[in-house]
């Protein structure tokens, strides 16, 4: 279904970072080529080896590291991507993108790609409600970035939008975005 599509999955440092491995596996199962960029904080939650095994590609951790291999036909990730998915997207990664900060490989790629860029947020509900976080999200939306969010009802009955959407929901949304772009 996604044959020939190049997707970058950016993984940031928060508790559901391990779920990104499932997202990568499901995108690969749909025949997408998936590359993974991890922030340093993401490596505190899940090992890069997990993503290398799931994607079949080297994981990018450091923007200044020598490439794993030199291939003259290889383009920079930012140039070859059809879609950049940041999942989970922390308040930090959203804030960096909204304010043009490029201090690691993921934030640099967000700013340098022309691909459709999609954030799937996950953060503490108190953080999510902060006016600065809401302004950053609004700024990114106004700039054309997309967000995948899903209403979640907690056992207390409280409704949240700050939690990472279900994996199947994310896959469905990404697939829909790519298929709509192809038309």
Would you state the pLDDT for residue 158? 81
* pLDDT tens-digit map of 144-167: 999 999 988 878 888 887 899 999
End-to-end CA distance of the chain: 14
Would you state the pLDDT for residue 152? 83
Would you state the pLDDT for residue 177? 96
The alpha carbon dihedral of 166, 171, 172, 174 has a sign of positive
What count of Cα atoms within 13 Å lies in the side-chain half-sphere of residue 96? 19
* pLDDT tens-digit map of 65-122: 655 554 433 358 889 999 999 999 999 999 999 999 999 999 999 999 999 999 999 9
The token duo for 55 is 């994607």
Rounded CA gap, 7 and 174, in Å?
10
- CATH architecture observed for domain 6-67+76-182: 3-Layer(aba) Sandwich (3.40)
Question: Which of 17, 6, 23, 30 has the alpha carbon at shortest distance from 82?
Answer: 6
52 or 181, which is more confident?
52
Domain boundaries, the chain: 6-67+76-182
Question: Between helices 91-98 and 131-142, what is the axis angle to 10°?
Answer: 50
CB-neighbour burial class of residue 134 (10 A; exposed 0-12, middle 13-18, buried 19+): exposed
Q: How high does pLDDT run on average in the chain?
A: 91
Task: Average the pLDDT over each of 47-51, 60-64, 134-138 and give the range with the smallest value.
Answer: 60-64
Rounded CA gap, 3 and 91, in Å?
32
- Cα 107 to Cα 28, 30, 97, 159, 161: the distances in Å are 23, 26, 6, 30, 23
**pTM, 2 dp:** 0.92
Would you state the pLDDT for residue 8? 97
Residue 63: CB atoms within 10 Å: 14
Rounded CA gap, 50 and 53, in Å?
5
């Amino acid at each position: 279904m996604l044959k020939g599509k190049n997707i970058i999955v950016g993984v940031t440092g928060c508790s559901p970072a391990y779920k990104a491995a499932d997202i990568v596996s499901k995108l690969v199962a749909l025949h997408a080529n998936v590359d993974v960029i991890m922030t340093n904080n993401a490596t505190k939650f899940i090992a890069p080896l997990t993503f290398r095994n799931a994607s079949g590609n080297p994981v990018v951790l450091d923007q200044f590291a020598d490439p794993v291999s030199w291939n003259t036909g290889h383009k920079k990730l930012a140039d070859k991507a059809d879609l950049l998915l940041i999942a989970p997207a922390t308040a930090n990664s959203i804030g960096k993108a909204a304010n043009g900060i490029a201090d690691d490989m993921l934030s640099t790629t967000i700013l340098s790609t022309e691909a459709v860029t999609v954030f799937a947020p996950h953060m503490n509900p108190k953080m999510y409600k902060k006016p600065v976080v809401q302004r950053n999200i609004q700024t990114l939306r106004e700039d054309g970035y997309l967000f995948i969010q899903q209403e979640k009802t907690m056992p207390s009955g409280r409704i949240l939008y700050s939690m990472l959407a279900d994996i199947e929901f994310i896959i469905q949304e990404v697939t829909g975005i790519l298929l709509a772009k192809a038309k």
